[in-house]
Amino acid sequence: MQHRFYTIGYEGSQVEAFAATLRRAGVETLIDVRDVPLSRKPGFSKSALAANLETSGITYVHLKGLGDPKPGREAARAGEYAEFRRIFGRHMKTEFAQRDLAKAAELLRAQPCCLMCFEQDHCNCHRSIVADHLVRQTGLQLYHLSIDSSSRSYAGRPHLPGLSFA
């Protein structure tokens, strides 16, 4: 059983440095939690990213059910974090999201994994909400990676107050 898992955002990075950071952390599976796994940034759309990671020995998995729906993304971009949390919290109660949470938990228990989204700063990114729920579900320790290879550990408390998955 693994004792930890990671999250990472690719904002401001190049795919080579991104993959190197994952390798240094010992990540075997990258779990993409974007609703729409496309990017204007070269190398970070689903197919290109999967191919790049494969050359590094890292498996790519996209779990759409853990992505932030468009209204949630729009609220977050507008700085309306309470609305973002409300929208995403409602989404996380859906059967689709719960099914992908179960898949993510299974992957995390089996091998070193990292949840990925765009935002470099995890504090107002939905991946932190997903990660916090997975900490509660699996008991694993959470680290947030940055491309400069530094990481910070969290005890699993939600980073965005007021959000409940119950």
Q: pLDDT at residue 165 above 70?
A: no
**Banded pLDDT at 65 (limits 50, 70, 90):** very high
> How confident is the model at residue 2, as a pLDDT?
61
> How confident is the model at residue 33, as a pLDDT?
98
Q: pLDDT at residue 118 above 60?
A: yes
**Banded pLDDT at 3 (limits 50, 70, 90):** confident
Specify the 3-state DSSP secondary structure of 125. coil
Q: Considering only 7-11, 40-44, 80-84, 148-152, which range has the smallest mean pLDDT?
A: 148-152
**Banded pLDDT at 160 (limits 50, 70, 90):** very low
Element (H, E) at 74: helix 70-77
Q: Do residues 87 and 69 lie in contact, with contact meaning Cβ atoms separated by under 8 Å?
A: yes
The pTM assigned to this predicted structure is 0.88
Q: pLDDT at residue 163 above 70?
A: no
Beta pairing, strands 151-154 & 59-62: unpaired
Q: How many CA atoms lie within 13 A of 117 on its CB side?
A: 24
> How confident is the model at residue 123, as a pLDDT?
83
According to DSSP, the residues that pair with 68 across neighbouring strands are: none
Question: What would the mean pLDDT of 87-115 be, rounded to a whole number?
Answer: 97
Burial degree of 48 (CB within 10 A; 0-12, 13-18, 19+)? middle
Question: What confidence tens digit (pLDDT) does each residue in 23-32 have?
Answer: 999 999 999 9
Question: What would the mean pLDDT of 85-103 be, rounded to a whole number?
Answer: 96
Residue 91 dihedral angles phi and psi, to the nearest 5°:
-60, -40
- What residue has token string 């599976």? 29
> How confident is the model at residue 154, as a pLDDT?
45
Protein fold of 4-114+133-154: Rossmann fold (3.40.50)
